[in-house]
Amino acid sequence: MSTIKNIVVPCDGSEHAAQAAVHAAMLAKAFGAKLHLVHVFPGSPAELIGMPGASAQMVGVGRFDEKTFRRMWDDAAKASLEAAHKALGEAGADAKAVKLSGDPADEIIKFAHGLDAPAIVIGPRGLGTVRGMLLGSVSNRVVHKAKCPVTVVH
């Protein structure tokens, strides 16, 4: 049986993500594993549907330029990762922060599979409820597609 060396924690700024980070910190201590906080921002404005702060005007094609989109990505990533780091700080743990762009479930899985002996600890749902109803939740897709252990923290 192999041991877990790396734990990936997807972060979206939700309370569920913070709870997952705290649980992951406990697992990391038990296994002596490294923690990786991952924030994935959609690869295109159309994928913003259902994300916090995304209005109908923002997701309209051509409504804002690449610079504005990147600024939104940086702001969202900063807020999400800071919330997770705060939760980890309270749990007495530290982690590496990673920002990715693309389909959240696919990018989380791809990142985890690139690590040695990974596991993923994820909340049951994040902030993208409309998008989740349309496309299926990120956590559900990660559970079904990942080839490594996945823990869903309720």
Three-class secondary structure assignment of the chain = CCCCCEEEEECCCCHHHHHHHHHHHHHHHHHCCEEEEEEEECCCHHHHCCCCCCCHHHHCCCCCCHHHHHHHHHHHHHHHHHHHHHHHHHCCCCCEEEEEECCHHHHHHHHHHCCCCEEEEECCCCCCHHHHHHHCCHHHHHHHHCCCCEEECC
Asked if the model's pLDDT at residue 61 lies above 70, the reply is no
What pLDDT is attached to residue 144? 96
- Per residue in 40-54, pLDDT tens? 987 766 565 555 445
The mean pLDDT of 64-93, rounded to a whole number, is: 82
Asked whether residue 41 is domain-assigned, the answer is yes
Asked whether residue 62 is domain-assigned, the answer is yes
Q: What percent of the chain has pLDDT over 70?
A: 78
Residue 64 or residue 136, greater confidence: 64
DSSP helix/strand/coil, 19 = helix
Asked if the model's pLDDT at residue 87 lies above 80, the reply is yes
Asked whether residue 1 is domain-assigned, the answer is no
Are 150 and 143 a contacting pair, CB within 8 Å?
yes
**In terms of pTM, does the model score above 0.85?**
no
Boundaries of domain holding 105: 6-152
Q: How confident is the model at residue 10 (pLDDT cuts 50, 70, 90)?
A: very high
Q: How many domains does the chain have?
A: 1
Instruction: Output the domain CATH number for residue 52.
Output: 3.40.50.620
The mean pLDDT of 115-142, rounded to a whole number, is: 76
The mean pLDDT of 12-26, rounded to a whole number, is: 92
Asked if the model's pLDDT at residue 125 lies above 50, the reply is yes
Asked whether residue 66 is domain-assigned, the answer is yes
Asked whether residue 104 is domain-assigned, the answer is yes
| Strand bridging mode 118-122 / 6-10 | parallel
Write down the mean pLDDT value for the chain.
Answer: 83
Q: How confident is the model at residue 134 (pLDDT cuts 50, 70, 90)?
A: very low
Residue 104 or residue 134, greater confidence: 104
Residue 144 or residue 135, greater confidence: 144
